[in-house]
Amino acid sequence: MMLHHSEIKIQLLKLYLERYLNVLSVSKFFGNIHLYDLFCGEGIYENNGKGSPIVILETIKNTYFANKAKGIRTDKFNCRFNDIERWKIEKLKTEITKRKLHYSDIGELEYSVTDYKVLLPGIVNEIDSFKKEKAFVFIDPYGYKDIKVANIKSLLRSNRSEVLLFLPTQFMFRFEKHGTPECLIDFIGELMPIEQWPESETGVGFIESLTEAFRNSLGNEYYVDSFIITREKNQFFCLFFFTSHIYGFDRMLDAKWKIDEEEGRGWQHVIENTLFDQVEKKANTFKFERKLIAFLRTDRTNGQIYQFTLHNGHLPNHANEILMKLQTNGQLKALKPDGTKARKSSFYINYQDYKNEPNKIRLKIN
């Protein structure tokens, strides 16, 4: 079945939220969670398709009752739905009541009809004041002209939030090929000097450059990756996720790689030239290998390699495979802190070791 891009977007939102809420639910520090959908839309579409606020409410309702059944302490899930169009918010309210999607036990529910730009400073202040609480922000505009990188940075700066940004990047790519419009220059210019922006051969390449630029611009404290949704040949939509929460990011990357592998094929048939997609995928792993080798020219601990792997959107098992190959070829030196040789084929690249024994071994290319 061919899915419309907005349905795939909603599936990804649901998946992200489920994973995020699951990771938080098992944490001792679980506090109230505030979910902001800043461009929420009308909730239910003419074809009965569900929009983001409905999916958010369904997901928190399921999590709330599942946690309650398991005896996990349940803090509140507070939602804020905003859209600039009043009729959409009114329709959304009616749908939520009709479908009984919300109970006051779950948390508070707030609506607003405000321009995103006006609303944002207040939300940033609210998130900055959080102590135990956490924020999840979904940004789903029609285009990118109102979205500033600085907005995303300010939403992230408290280290208590996750941001999910959906961008219809096919427009960016098209514009980029035929001369860059002012608003795109501004957008990229916030990330890097525009004259250093690499020329992209394909839409996927363009999104990779954008992800890389976000990573460089946000620095080591934040993790960034993107899901690519393809609709037609050379039409790309992209969901970026940003967080400072390394374990949450690890789980999300895991889900992303699974989707690419399993359902990924389900989406690929919308690209006429499947070979194109395969070539892109191979290149991704290849690029990471080159980066990892360059990174290992300097002595690195297992903890540092774990972080590096995630920063580059890859999984510990990708790093392990590459390290194994290097070791087999005699190119890798692996030492314990006391300087003796480490056990062969064990690299300790995972979250548990990162947390408990980040200096268990040191690796370097010979």
Ligand X SMILES: C[S@@+](CC[C@H](N)C(=O)[O-])C[C@H]1O[C@@H](n2cnc3c(N)ncnc32)[C@H](O)[C@@H]1O
Binding site for ligand X (CB under 6 A): 10, 39-41, 51-52, 82-85, 88, 115-116, 140-142, 146
Radius of gyration of the chain (CA): 22
Judged by CB, which is closer to ligand X: 39, or 308? 39
Helix 203-218 × helix 149-156 angle, to 10°: 50
190 token code pair = 């916030």
Judged by CB, which is closer to ligand X: 8, or 24? 8
339 token code pair = 């300087």
Least distance CB 39 / ligand X (angstroms): 3
Least distance CB 67 / ligand X (angstroms): 25
How many CB atoms are located within 10 Å of the residue 87 CB? 10
Closest CA to 135 of 150, 125, 147, 149: 125
Please give the single-letter amino acid code of residue 10.
I
> Phi and psi (nearest 5°) for 22?
-65, -45
Angle at 332 (CA atoms; ends 345, 354), nearest 5 degrees: 60
Judged by CB, which is closer to ligand X: 31, or 141? 141
For 78-101, the DSSP string reads EEEEE-S-HHHHHHHHHHHHHTT-
Judged by CB, which is closer to ligand X: 37, or 277? 37
Judged by CB, which is closer to ligand X: 141, or 181? 141
> Phi and psi (nearest 5°) for 343?
-60, 140
How many CB atoms are located within 10 Å of the residue 129 CB? 10
Closest residue (Cβ) to ligand X?
51
Judged by CB, which is closer to ligand X: 56, or 305? 56
Least distance CB 97 / ligand X (angstroms): 18
Least distance CB 37 / ligand X (angstroms): 6
Least distance CB 159 / ligand X (angstroms): 25
Least distance CB 41 / ligand X (angstroms): 3
Closest CA to 45 of 10, 80, 84: 10
DSSP β-bridge partners for residue 341: 335
Judged by CB, which is closer to ligand X: 149, or 305? 149
Least distance CB 166 / ligand X (angstroms): 7
> Phi and psi (nearest 5°) for 281?
-65, -45
Judged by CB, which is closer to ligand X: 115, or 261? 115
Q: Is 251 exposed, middle or buried (0-12, 13-18, 19+ CB in 10 A)?
A: middle
Least distance CB 139 / ligand X (angstroms): 9
